[in-house]
C-alpha cells in the first residue's frame, strides 16, 4: 500500500533481508507478474547475489552480482512480507524470492498490479529530484512547471517533476503550502514556489520519519490534514475540506486557507 513512506519502509525490509544473500529460488505465482518476469528469466536469478537494494522514487532496484538488476514497482497495493520457514504464503502473495539463509521475501499484492523486471541497469529514467532532496529548490520546481498548464496537483503526480509524490501527499503538500490544487502549474508565483518546495520536503520528510501509512478513514492514527476528510473542518482555519476530481483522481483541499 505504497505511497513513498511505505515504499521506503519496504525497501528497508528487503535490504535487511536480501543484501549479501544469494538467491536460491524464485517463484512467480501470478500471471500479471510473470509478464515482467517469465519463469525462465526468474530461474536465471538462482545463484545470483544481491549486492544492494536501492529506491528511486517509488521504484526499487536489487543490484545483483551478475551486473543485472531486478526492478520492482509496487503500483497500488504491493508490499514485501517475510515468510516463516514453514509458513504457507497468504493468498495475496504474488512472488517469492528465497535466500540462502532460509529467508523468503514475498511480494504481497492483493491487486496484483506490481511490476517486476530483470535486466541491465537502466540509465536513470526521467525522474525528477526526490521529494525529500534539498535539491528540490523553488527554481528547479519552477523550471519543471514552466510550460505546464495542468493543475498543480496533477503536475505533482508527474514523477518527472518530483519523484515520489503520490495522490495522498500531493494534496497534503499543497495544503501545507496553502496553494489551491486547481491553479495551473505555471501560474505559481515565487512565494508560492518557495512554499511548495519546502512544503513538499517537509510533508514527505515528516511522513517518512513517522513511517506513515494510510489505514483508511476509520483509524485515528494515520489520518491526514485533508486527504479523505471531505466535509470535515480544516485543522488550520476551520473551513470545510472539499473534494474534487482531477485527472480521474480525488483531490482534497481546504476551501478557506488554500487561496489561489
- The answer to whether 134 is a known catalytic residue is no
Residue in 135, 206, 239, 247 binding DNA, rule: CB under 7 A: 247
Residue in 13, 29, 32, 41 binding DNA, rule: CB under 7 A: 32
CB of 30: closest distance to DNA in angstroms? 6
> With respect to DNA, which residue has the nearer C-beta, 59 or 192?
59
Show the 3-state SS of the chain: CCCHHHHHHHHHHHHHHHCCCEEEEEEECCHHHHHHCCHHHHHCCCCCEEEEEEEECCEEEEEECCCCEEEEECCCCCEEEEECCCCCCCCCEEEEEEECCCCEEEEECCCCCCEEEEECCCCCCCCCCECCCCCCCHHHHHHHHCCCCCEHHHHHCCCCCCECCCHHHHHHHHHHHCCCCCCEHHHCCHHHHHHHHHHHHHHHHHHHHHCCCCCCCCCCCCCCCCCCCCCCECCCCCCEEEEEEECCEEEEEECCCCCC
> With respect to DNA, which residue has the nearer C-beta, 63 or 213?
213
- The answer to whether 58 is a known catalytic residue is yes
Residue in 28, 104, 142, 159 binding DNA, rule: CB under 7 A: 159
The verdict on 145 binding DNA (CB under 7 A) reads no
- Listed ranges 64-72, 128-136, 161-169, 197-205: which one lies at the site for DNA (CB under 7 A): 161-169
- Listed ranges 9-17, 57-65, 188-196, 231-239: which one lies at the site for DNA (CB under 7 A): 57-65
Q: Which residues bind DNA (CB under 7 A)?
A: 1-3, 6, 30-32, 35, 57-59, 73, 75-77, 91-92, 110-113, 148-151, 154, 157, 159, 166-168, 213-214, 216, 246-250
Amino acid at each position: 500500500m505504497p505511497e513513498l513512506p511505505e515504499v521506503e519502509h519496504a525497501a528497508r525490509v528487503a535490504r535487511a533481508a536480501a543484501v549479501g544473500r544469494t538467491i536460491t529460488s524464485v517463484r512467480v505465482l501470478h500471471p500479471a507478474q510473470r509478464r515482467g518476469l517469465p519463469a525462465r528469466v526468474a530461474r536465471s536469478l538462482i545463484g545470483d547475489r544481491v549486492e544492494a537494494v536501492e529506491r528511486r522514487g517509488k521504484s526499487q532496484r536489487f543490484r545483483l552480482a551478475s551486473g543485472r538488476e531486478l526492478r520492482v514497482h509496487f503500483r497500488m497495493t504491493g508490499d514485501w512480507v517475510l515468510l516463516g520457514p514453514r509458513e504457507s504464503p497468504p493468498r495475496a502473495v504474488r512472488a517469492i524470492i528465497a535466500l540462502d539463509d532460509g529467508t523468503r521475501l514475498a511480494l504481497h499484492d492483493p491487486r496484483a498490479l506490481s511490476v517486476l523486471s530483470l535486466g541491465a541497469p537502466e540509465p536513470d529514467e526521467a525522474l525528477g529530484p526526490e521529494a525529500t532532496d534539498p535539491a528540490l529548490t523553488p527554481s528547479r520546481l519552477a523550471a519543471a512547471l514552466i510550460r505546464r498548464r495542468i493543475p498543480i496537483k496533477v503536475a505533482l503526480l508527474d514523477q518527472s517533476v518530483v519523484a515520489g509524490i503520490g495522490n495522498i501527499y500531493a494534496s497534503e503538500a499543497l495544503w501545507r503550502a496553502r496553494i489551491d490544487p486547481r491553479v495551473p502549474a505555471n501560474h505559481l508565483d515565487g512565494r508560492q514556489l518557495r512554499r511548495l518546495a519546502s512544503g513538499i520536503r517537509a510533508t514527505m520528510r515528516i511522513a517518512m520519519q513517522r513511517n506513515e501509512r494510510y489505514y483508511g478513514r476509520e483509524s485515528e492514527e494515520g489520518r491526514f490534514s485533508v486527504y479523505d476528510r471531505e466535509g470535515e473542518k480544516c485543522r488550520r482555519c476551520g473551513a470545510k475540506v472539499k473534494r474534487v476530481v482531477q485527472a480521474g483522481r480525488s483531490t482534497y483541499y481546504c476551501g478557506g486557507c488554500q487561496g489561489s
